[in-house]
Amino acid sequence: NAGVIQTPRHKVTGKGQEATLWCEPISGHSAVFWYRQTIVQGLEFLTYFRNQAPIDDSGMPKERFSAQMPNQSHSTLKIQSTQPQDSAVYLCASSLTTNSDYTFGSGTRLLVI
């Protein structure tokens, strides 16, 4: 079991460019979550999927952020027109059910310059 796999581990983008982050959840886990971690804001919930269906995207900044889960083996988080304030560690997690413990990936450290 390789755990939750996130790629890339690090990404540097110029302001205004697009960034796509990938997550491969643990096989058999029905719930997939995206969080953003910064020193100032801590761990912020962004969005989650259950059985590939989007359930709650209340934490997603509108307009520039979008997430998809086209199949049970991966999810993507896309940020359009990146801004310096998007710089953060983006964490993906999966769990057997919504109400069970999460397994986090190692995260993607995004730096927007």
Partner 1 sequence: GEKVEQHESTLSVREGDSAVINCTYTDTASSYFPWYKQEAGKSLHFVIDIRSNVDRKQSQRLTVLLDKKAKRFSLHITATQPEDSAIYFCAASQGGRALIFGTGTTVSVSP
Rounded CA separation 1/81 (Å):
35
The least CB distance from residue 17 to partner 1, in Å, is: 25
- Nearer residue to partner 1 within complex by CB, 36 or 82: 36
The least CB distance from residue 104 to partner 1, in Å, is: 5
The least CB distance from residue 78 to partner 1, in Å, is: 19
> DSSP readout, 48-102?
EEETTEEEE-TTSPTTTEEEEEEETTEEEEEESS--GGG-EEEEEEEESSTTS--
- Nearer residue to partner 1 within complex by CB, 55 or 66: 55
Rounded CA separation 71/109 (Å):
24
- Nearer residue to partner 1 within complex by CB, 3 or 16: 3
Please name which of 34, 83, 88, 26 lies closest in space to residue 57, comparing C-alpha atoms: 34
Residue ranges that bind partner 1, judged by CB under 8 A: 33, 35, 42-43, 45, 48, 55-56, 58, 91, 93, 98-99, 101-107
- Nearer residue to partner 1 within complex by CB, 41 or 81: 41
The least CB distance from residue 26 to partner 1, in Å, is: 13
